[in-house]
Chain A
Amino acid sequence: MSAVAPAAPLPAAPKPGPVVGPGGELPVVTNDVTFVEIETLRSREFLPAAKEALSAMLKEQGESKLIRPVFNWAGRNSLFPLHWGLACCAIEFAAAFGARWDAERFGVVPRSSPRQCDLLIVNGTVTWKVAHKLIALYEQMPEPKWVIAMGNCATGGGPFRTAYSVVPGVDKLVPVDVYIAGCPPRPEALLDGILRLEALIRERGE
């Protein structure tokens, strides 16, 4: 076998000049760094040039325009609720993830650890005894995170609003993004609440 031939030298960089398209000469964009200059890519190796261009873009535009939309899109389409049941609404919660309603088609997958979750669905009556555990679970979830108050009890205490042991609304403990009415709400209502939360996340651009 013959020795490996030495790498062919890179072709000489073409002379920079105006790019001519089918319709004539294209305008040369000079000030907008979001466009990678084609001449730069032609004249040098791709990866260093792309790296340089990307870091220049990041420096100019920051995370807000480039990274955030990607995370927002990915986050709102893969909400992971905490697999945590408090009361009878948890039955509807379970039914929503069963075969008939199949909430996983919206990318909603319940996880058993708050460290893996970004959505807390409070599905049931919150008593003062469990309140600090709810706060602890919420604080263990990584940012960004959202809360859905499911059912009348979590929304405002429900029929136990003036009881001696019940928190009158979980928004006294954690910030709530979406409230779902019902006693208990049907699985369709939970799915609607999740889709509304997705629209809310898109609107806020979190």
Chain B
Amino acid sequence: MESNPEDIRAQLTAAGAVGVLAVEPFDGAAARVKFAPESAAALFQVFRDALGFTHLSTVGGIDWVTRYEVFYLLWSDATKRYVILSADLDAKTPHIETASPTWPSANWHEREAWELVGIHFDHHPDLRHLLMPDGYQFHPLQRAFKLHEPEELEVKVRHV
């Protein structure tokens, strides 16, 4: 099975995908596809239905100070290969359309990325805290987050 960037690019062109900015080689995966965040929802459908990437392994976010990056690691069970989707987001208000309707496994991964990195996923069905208690007011994996002295870190512990 061919699994190189040219193959992915050809399949994307055949499927009529829009919003693809670049298809780059990436070690360990068929390609890394950079895309514009506005066309996320349509592109997710193309990757699942036309290219056969039926499984979403993980969603993550990176704070690059001048921009945010969100990436998706997809796995195709039919062709046994990975592909990485990657989008650059605005540094002020990073947000992108949710992948939950396409891949249900995106639900918790996007909750984690929102909570730790601060990327907001639009139309997410259940964007609640995952690892931190409700009411936690920081996004601790952002570069601007400073480690607190224990006395400064006031976390409201809710009794349930």
Chain A positions near chain B (C-beta within 8 angstroms)? 128-129, 131-132, 135-136, 157, 161-165, 168-169, 173
Contacts and interface: CB of A to CB of B under 8 A. Distances in A.
Nearest to A156: B150
A135 B147 contact: no
Contacts of A173: 157
B65 interface: no
Contacts of B149: 162
A59 to B, nearest CB: 41
Interface of B: 131-133, 136, 138, 140, 145, 147-150, 153, 155, 157-160
B83 to A, nearest CB: 32
A168 B131 contact: no
B158 to A, nearest CB: 6
Contacts of A132: 133, 157-160
B133 A129 contact: yes
Contacts of B157: 128, 131-132, 135, 173
A129 B131 contact: yes
A88 B136 CA distance: 26
Given A157-B150, A162-B150, A164-B148, A129 B132 contact: yes
A128 B153 CA distance: 11
